């Protein structure tokens, strides 16, 4: 399994961050894979907002290209999600060790996460993406990002001060 890092430059992230801070934020939501029903994750450390392709088509295309460059991406089998998720994590928040292997319905077909992409919208003090099994840590830097297999165990280290903004995108395969 590969972990690919990239840097788009600061301008794109800065533009999106200016739009993001004006959005109405909602509690972190999860989706029941059987019904498609959304529910609040009560103990989530952050808040999240959906960004449909229509709101940022150029950004979706750019980030999708990073997923498509993964060595195990199969365009005949994998679908890149229609929504990007904008996440905000405040001081003292973190996410414990986990994987991203969730299942959602895509056009009525149960689909499992294959790749995850994290794109940073600002520099942050703390809040690093950490892969302990590989001893890899990626610092939140405006315009930087990483793509990895959704099965890869990772965590988000504690945000020491300020707010960490990131954009998430995933690819899926039918099960």
pLDDT at residue 43 in the model: 46
Residue 12 has pLDDT above 80, yes or no: no
Question: Would you tell me the crossing angle of helices 57-68 and 10-20 to the nearest 10 degrees?
Answer: 130
pLDDT at residue 117 in the model: 95
The average pLDDT across 32-59 equals 63
pLDDT at residue 155 in the model: 92
Cβ burial 103-125 (10 Å sphere, 16+ → b, else e): ebeeeeeebebbbbbbbbbbbbe
Please give the Cα distance from 149 to 145 (Å, whole number).
14
Please give the Cα distance from 15 to 3 (Å, whole number).
26
Largest distance between two CA atoms of the chain: 43
Q: What is the pTM of this model?
A: 0.81
The average pLDDT across 16-27 equals 62
**52 vs 148, more confident:** 148
Residue 170 has pLDDT above 50, yes or no: yes
Retrieve residue 149's tokens.
């297999």
CA-CA-CA-CA torsion for 1, 3, 77, 63, nearest 10 degrees?
180
Can you tell me which residue has the tokens 């999106």? 16
- In the DSSP assignment, the letter for residue 157 is P
The average pLDDT across 16-32 equals 59
| β-bridge partners, 160 | none
């Amino acid at each position: 399994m590969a972990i690919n890092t990239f840097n788009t430059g600061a301008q794109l992230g800065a533009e999106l961050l200016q739009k993001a801070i004006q959005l109405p934020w909602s509690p972190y939501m999860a989706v029941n894979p059987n019904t498609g029903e959304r529910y609040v994750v009560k103990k989530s450390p952050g808040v999240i907002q959906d960004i449909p392709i229509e709101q940022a088509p150029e950004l979706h295309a750019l980030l999708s290209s990073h997923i498509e460059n993964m060595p195990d991406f199969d365009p005949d089998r994998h679908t890149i999600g229609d929504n990007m998720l904008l996440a905000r994590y405040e001081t003292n928040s973190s996410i414990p060790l986990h994987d991203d292997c969730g299942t959602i319905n895509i056009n009525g077909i149960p689909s499992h996460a294959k790749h995850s992409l994290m794109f940073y919208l600002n520099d942050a003090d703390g809040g690093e993406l950490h892969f302990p099994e590989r001893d890899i840590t990626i610092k939140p830097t405006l315009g930087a990002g990483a793509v990895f297999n959704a099965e890869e165990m990772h965590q988000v280290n504690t945000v020491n001060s300020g707010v960490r903004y990131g954009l998430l995108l995933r690819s899926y395969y039918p099960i």
